[in-house]
Each structure stands twice: as C-alpha cells, then as structure tokens.
Amino acid sequence: MRPTTVLIALAFLAHAPYALAETAKAALRGTSLQPGLQGEVTLTDTESGLLIQGSLSGAPAGLHGFHIHEFGLCDDNGNAAGSHFNPKGTTHGNVIADGQEKAHAGDLGNLTVREDGTATWLYTLPGLSLAKGPNPIAGRAVIVHEKPDDFGQPTGNAGGRIGCGAILVSGR
Ligand SMILES: [Cu+2]
C-alpha cells in the first residue's frame, strides 16, 4: 500500500465509532403531574458530539429543568429513572454552558415552554454519545421537571418530574 492509502485507512479507523452514527428517539409522556404533556426527542451521534433535538406540547409556560437521568424507566411519576446521569461524579450544573468538569453529563439546563405550552430545542453536546462513544446514554431517560433548574446543589431544585421518555436506539 502507498503511504497515502495507509493514512486514509488510519483516518477511517480513528473515526469508525462515529462512522456508525446511530439515532435514538425518546417519546416524552406526561406523568400524573402533567398528563397532557407529550413530545419527542431525537438524539444523533455526530463527529462533534450528541445532537439533541426535541419538541413538546402540553406543558406549563416557563422554564423547566431538562436532564438525562440514569435509567430508562418512567414508572412512579418518573422517579424510576433514578438520579441525573453523572458518569464523572461531579456536582450539579449546566453541562451546555460549563462542560462536564463542572456539571453532570446529564444536566441539560432548562427548556423554555411558550405561552401555548409548546417548546422546541436543538443543540449538540460534546463528550456524549448514544452507544459507541464516550458516556453512552442509550437506554437512559430524558426527564422534564416541574420547575426551573436553578443550578443549586445537589440537583437544581427543579421539583417533580412532569415528563419522561426512555432513550431507545432507532436507527443506524
Ligand atoms: Cu432531572
């Protein structure tokens, strides 16, 4: 093989986990605290991180804490999802603003719900992946909270869990 061929092969191998980009969906359903809430979150591995896009309806207007929690279970008003996904054992924060050294990997901050009860969001989080890269989140859950995440310790004072959806791999 010519050296350029070898280099191309090495470059491909280095990116192999991302070449197998996966997609997951989480169907958001309201808990008994907010039965009318529904929505969908789509999560996609990209070379720059985990692309998270979502929309929901049927929620109270204002800010609502939005996190990835440890387990893909929504029983018991979302409490079966456990605590925030926190693979590095850090304190609570906002991983979008401050990164994984100063926040749980699952601390996605707040969603802004409009007066009509809807919200949409789209961002990419470096250092997270669905299944084959760093800090895999397939099989965990997304949670929408009753109140804003104020980034206080230990979990942001965001109150009960009004929406929950398990993150299920749906394509590759
Ligand atoms: Cu939470």
DSSP string, 88-138: T---S--HHHH-TTSS-TTEEEEEEE-TTS-EEEEEEETT-BSSSSSSB-T
* CA proximity to 53, closest of 41, 63, 45, 65: 41
- Domain contains 87: yes
Residue 70 lies in domain: 21-171
- Beta bridge pairs of residue 66: 144
Q: What is the CATH number of the domain that holds 70?
A: 2.60.40.200
- Beta bridge pairs of residue 5: none
Expressed in angstroms and rounded, the spacing between residue 108 Cα and the centre of ligand 1 is 9
Question: What's the pLDDT band for 14 if we cut at 50, 70, 90?
Answer: low
- Domain contains 5: no
Per residue in 117-134, pLDDT (tens digit) is 999 999 999 999 998 888
Total domain count, the chain: 1
* CA proximity to 73, closest of 37, 105, 26: 26
- Domain contains 10: no
Distance separating alpha carbons of residues 60 and 115, to the nearest angstrom: 8
Distance separating alpha carbons of residues 132 and 134, to the nearest angstrom: 7
- Domain contains 6: no
Residue in the structure block whose two tokens are 């949409």: 120
pLDDT of 7: 52
- Domain contains 16: no
- Domain contains 95: yes
Give the mean model confidence (pLDDT) for residues 14-19.
Answer: 50
Q: Are 85 and 107 in contact (CB under 8 A)?
A: no
Expressed in angstroms and rounded, the spacing between residue 4 Cα and the centre of ligand 1 is 48
Measured CA distances, 138 to 33, 88, 89 (Å): 25, 17, 19
Question: What's the pLDDT band for 9 if we cut at 50, 70, 90?
Answer: low
- Domain contains 127: yes
Per residue in 25-61, pLDDT (tens digit) is 999 999 999 999 999 999 999 989 999 999 999 999 9
Expressed in angstroms and rounded, the spacing between residue 50 Cα and the centre of ligand 1 is 18
- Domain contains 26: yes
Question: What's the pLDDT band for 63 if we cut at 50, 70, 90?
Answer: very high
Expressed in angstroms and rounded, the spacing between residue 133 Cα and the centre of ligand 1 is 23
Per residue in 130-165, pLDDT (tens digit) is 988 889 999 999 999 999 999 999 999 999 999 999
Expressed in angstroms and rounded, the spacing between residue 154 Cα and the centre of ligand 1 is 11
For the whole model, what pTM was predicted?
Answer: 0.87
* CA proximity to 39, closest of 22, 26, 56: 56
